[in-house]
Chains A and B, each alone.
Chain A
Amino acid sequence: MTIRFNDETFRDDYTFHNSPEAVRRFPFPFDHDSYMYSVNIEPHRRGQAGSVFQHRFDVDEHYIAEMRDREITLKDDPLRCQSLPHMELAGWDFLELVMTCKAEDYPDLFSLTRDGDRWHWINRPLGIDQRFTFLDATTLPCGPMEYITRQTQGDHALLDQREGNLWMDAGMITSQADWSLDFDIGMNFFEWHAPVPKAAEMGVFQRALKFLLNLQQGAPVRRLNWTMTVNPRLDTSPENYHKWGPEKRTLTPETVGAKQYLRVELQTLWRLPRSNAVAFPIRCYLCALEDIVTVPKWGRRLHRVLRDLPEELATYKGFSVNRPMIVDYLSKFDDGAPTSPGIFPDP
Chain B
Amino acid sequence: MPPTAFTPSIPSRPVYPGLVSRGATPALMLADAEGALALADLAASDPAVMDRAHLIYIPAGSDHGARLQALRPAQFHQAPSFATALPRLRKALADAHMGTVLYLAGTEGLIGQGLAEALAAGLPADAIQSEHRGSIARRMQCVHCKGVTEDVTTDPFTCSHCGLTLFVRDHYSRRLAAFQGVCVDAEAPGDIPETQEIRP
Binding site for B on A (CB under 8 A): 79, 180, 182-187, 190-195, 200, 238-242, 245-246, 248-249, 321
B130 at the interface (CB under 8 A from A): no
Contacts of B67 in A (CB 8 A): none
B180 at the interface (CB under 8 A from A): yes
When chains A and B are docked, how far (Å) is the Cα of A253 from the Cα of B47?
72
Whether A180 pairs with B13 at a CB distance below 8 angstroms is no
Alpha-carbon separation in the docked complex, A241 to B188 (Å): 11
Verify B12–A191 contact, CB threshold 8 A.
Answer: yes
Q: Is the CB of B187 within 8 A of A191?
A: no
Contacting residues, chain A, for B13 (C-beta < 8 A): 194
A192 CA to B182 CA in the complex, in Å? 16
Q: Is B15 an interface residue (CB 8 A)?
A: no
With contacts A191-B11, A193-B11 taken as known, whether A183 is within 8 angstroms of B180 at the C-beta atoms is yes
**Interchain CB contact (< 8 A) of B164 among A79, A180, A242, A249:** A242
Contacts of A241 in B (CB 8 A): 143-144, 182-183, 186
Nearest Cβ on chain B to A172's Cβ, whole angstroms: 18
B173 with A187: CB separation less than 8 A: yes
- Annotate B140-153 by CB proximity to A: 1 below 8 A, 0 otherwise: 01011010000000
- Kindly provide the distance from the CB of B1 to the nearest chain A CB, expressed in whole angstroms: 29
Does residue B22 face the partner (Cβ distance < 8 Å to A)?
Answer: no
B174 to chain A, nearest CB (A): 7
**Residues on B with beta carbons closer than 8 Å to the beta carbon of A186:** 173-175
Does B70 sit at the interface, judged by CB under 8 A?
Answer: no
How far does the alpha carbon of A195 sit from the alpha carbon of B188 in the complex, in Å? 23
Tell me which residues across on chain B come within 8 A of A200, comparing CB atoms.
11
The complex places the Cα of A79 from the Cα of B182 at a distance, in Å, of 17
Q: Which residues of B contact A187 (CB under 8 A)?
A: 12, 173-175
- Of the candidates B169, B175, B189, which one forms a contact with A185 in the assembled complex, judged by CB atoms under 8 Å apart? B175
Against A, the Cβ 8 Å flags (1 = close, 0 = not) of B156-187 are 00000000100001111111100010110011
Partner of B143, one of A195, A238, A246, A249: A238
Contact, CB under 8 Å: B188 / A249: yes
Chain B, residue nearest A318 (CB): B187
| Distance (whole angstroms) from the CB of B159 to the closest CB of chain A | 11
In this assembly, does B10 line the interface, its C-beta being within 8 Å of a C-beta of chain A? yes
User: Is A183 a contact partner of B144 (Cβ separation < 8 A)?
Assistant: no
Contacts of A185 in B (CB 8 A): 175
A183-B141, A183-B180, A239-B144 known; A246-B187 Cβ under 8 A:
yes
Bound-complex Cα distance A67 to B135 (A): 47
Residues of A within 8 A of B187 (CB): 245-246, 248-249, 321
In the complex, what residue of chain B is closest to A237 when comparing beta carbons?
B143
Cβ-defined contact, A245 with B171, below 8 A: no
Contact yes or no, A242 B10, CB < 8 A = no
Q: How far is the CB of A130 from chain B (nearest CB, A)?
A: 33
